[in-house]
Structure 1
Amino acid sequence: MRFFLKIILFFSVLVHLSFTVNLNNKKELPECTGITLKSKNGAFIQARTMEWGAYDMQPELLVYPRNYTYRTELQDKIIGMTWVGKYGFVGINALQDPRVADGLNEKGLAVSVLYLPRYASYQSFIKDKADSSITPGEMALLLLSSCKTTQDVRDLLRKVRVVPKPEKEIGGITAPLHYMVSDKDGNSIIIEYTNEQLHIYDNSVGVLTNSPDYPWHLTNLKNYISIGVEEISPVKIGTLEITPTGAGSGMLGLPGDYTPPSRFVRATAMRNSVTALENGERAISEAFRILNNFDIPIGTMGTKHDPSILGDTQYTTAADTKSLKYYYRTMNNHRIRVLDLKTIDFERKRLVRRNLDVSKAQDYKTITIDNKKG
């Protein structure tokens, strides 16, 4: 018994030390969760939460016009790939950076950027190939401005090199990223760079979280194969009949912590047990309701160790790739706001920026009771 207590204590210390190192480096506290949903009338939704632990991201809503010129700066200030975008799009950035971590373009392509620490490994930088090279952070800009389908994405990425570049905002490392991309026809893919090679996977379960890589998560689902929506039948042990304590027994064993593997399993179970959704608006509503389960409350991801670190969900987005509507809510205001891309003039010549929140406070609606009526 003492031996097992020592083992438990040893691993507890390791976990604590690992967590402290991550806090001090402020590198590994993003805990994003992404899902897709489809409605009966053909609408396809890509939605995600954005968690970031190192600082307040101060996110802005950006509107990029058509025919905008993009220029990449690689390591050592070498100029990389330069291109003129075909399509206009909306997206969300951080720290006034022109790059976006999430977005939807006018052709119905949605791109979400999530963290992949310790697994992302990019193609080697070759100076002679700089003109076809970009950094991981520019991937969303490239895809949203250049592609209208996931097949376009596959074709384009065969011609592009994604190479490392240290980012001072995340402690001088190259951003370890992977990507979920969906189009208006309901095709969805996962893009990862591991072992310095490009990998594109069909998004077979409609879910993405963080490390390990996507194939690992699919293998891990085998450990939860018995989870489902059907209630568990009573079991007889000797003369005692044991029955479930209440509804929901089919989900017994579903992990509830915030680690990427647990969130992947939980999101897969929720996303793939949703009943038929009539239309895009219903699917948007359900996407936000599912992602409510992945909001990380303030204080549960490190704020007790360092008050400057936020572990909570800074914003949540949902893109309807059919109706071309982009929805979001923030950590400060849970009211869902929507931008209809069909109302935007993408022929404008300049980039437009707008704060996600007019004011960092919850928008409450007061209701009144007419005392003259019964």
Structure 2
Amino acid sequence: MCTSIIYTAGDSYFGRNLDLEISFGQEVVVTPRNYPFSFRKMPSLDHHYAITGMALVEDGYPLYFDGANEEGLGMAGLSFDGPCRYFPEDPAKDNVTPFEFIPYILGQCKNVTEARKLLSNLNLVKIDFSAKLHLSPLHWLIADKSGEAIVVESTAEGLNVYDNPVGVLTNNPEFPKQLLNLSNYQSISPAYPENTLIPEVKLSTYSRGFGSRFLPGGMDSESRFVKEVFTKAHAPKGKSEIENITDYFHNLHAVEQQKGLDQVAPGQFEYTIYSDGINLTTGTFYYSTYDNNQINAVKLEEDKLDQTELLQYPLQSKQTINFQN
């Protein structure tokens, strides 16, 4: 399972937690403007916006988990097992396979408004990348540097595009149900709660933080959605890039999954393999991994963006400790 957010504090920051029980050998990948993107059913993109993100490179092709383009549009695919449906090719539509959906959108669109236009005639077609790499059931968060966000879900009803006023996405259920569930937690607050039970009686308390007493804390997607919406809504706004990216990662870490707490099979546990975020204005890509809490960064280098070869940066997964003596 996973959590993705758009967080605005000065600049906007977009990214996610990837929560799985296995790692795929992903790395930070920059796709320059002239890398030729071939699509199974659509014309190739030989020139496009540069893309930075987390990807598995297979047969020279970047399979993006999440990323953003040089214009400040971000996109992340998250598990959506159950409601997700992909379809046969439709000659009346633009047929795009889910594994090429992120580069198809990020390669051509500057913002959410332009993404909506491409989505209006899109069909997510059921074509695997290869015999050994099958499609994953996903839905997507798309957001731009203005903070505007949408959710894309392909279900039995077809392709659904929803406004996302909270800038958060996790997994099941379908997005409108996640939003509706927030109404159950309207009274959650960082402030001390008002005594509306028996106002005439002074009640004693035993702890700080009573306003968040009933905030969900489970590993399930519905609990993570509520907790992340609350956390992000009350996150501070810093005065520098370091302050803001630090606060951004604290937002994601509020719903990270530790090893040993989410069993998916005997002896197998899902955990937060990595957390990442990109400054949608500067293009700097930040990440941390489960085994390395340090925030690492890859800058977008303008002088390398017109080449044709992928730029690949292996993840720094060894823990770094700052010894002071």
Pick the aligned partner of 1:89 from 51, 54, 77. Answer: 51
Look up the SS of the partner of 2:77 in the other structure. strand
1:319 aligned onto 2:278: yes
SS of the equivalent of 2:313 reads: strand
RMSD: 2.5
What TM-score does the superposition give when structure 1 sets the normalisation length? 0.79
Instruction: Measure the CA separation in 1 of the matches of 2:199 and 2:8.
Output: 46
Give, as a single letter, the amino acid of the residue that structure 2 aligns with 1:60: E
Match for 1:134 among 82, 92, 96?
96
Q: 100, 105, 109: which one pairs with 2:73?
A: 109
List 4+ stretches of structure 1 deviating above 6 A.
235-240
Aligned to 1:332: 291
> TM-score w.r.t. structure 2 length?
0.90
Q: Is the 8 A contact 1:303 1:311 kept in 2?
A: yes
Alignment-derived partner of residue 19 in structure 2: 51
CA contact (8 A) 1:56 1:310 kept: no
Q: When you count strand as a share of all residues, which structure comes out higher? A: 2
Cα deviation code 1:167-215 (max 9, x no counterpart): 6667x5x421111112122222211112242222222012110011110
- Contact map agreement 1:35 1:287 (CA 8 A) in 2: no
Q: 32, 36, 47: which one pairs with 1:65?
A: 32
- What per-residue deviation string (whole Å, max 9, x for no partner) do you get for residues 234-287 of structure 1? 577699743332211111111111000000011111111223443544322111
Query: Which residue pairs with 2:6 in the alignment?
Result: 36
Structure 1 match to 2:193: 232
* Bigger proportion of residues as helix: 1
Are residues 1:207 and 2:168 paired? yes
Deviation for aligned residue 1:310: 4.6
Name the CA distance, whole Å, in 2 between partners of 1:106 and 1:154: 18
Q: Give the Cα–Cα distance (whole angstroms) in 1 for the partners of residues 119 and 48 of structure 2.
A: 16
The alignment covers a number of residue pairs equal to: 322
Q: What is the CA–CA distance in structure 1 between the aligned matches of 2:50 and 2:199, rounded to whole Å?
A: 67
Greater Cα radius of gyration, structure 1 or 2: 1
Give me the identity figure in percent. Answer: 26
After superposing the two structures, state which structure 1 stretch, 289-298 or 272-281, moved more. Answer: 272-281
Does the CA-based 8 Å contact 1:234-1:243 persist in structure 2? no
Q: 1:193 to 1:236 in 2, by over 3 A?
A: closer
List alignment gaps of at least 5 residues for structure 1. 1-30, 74-78, 369-374
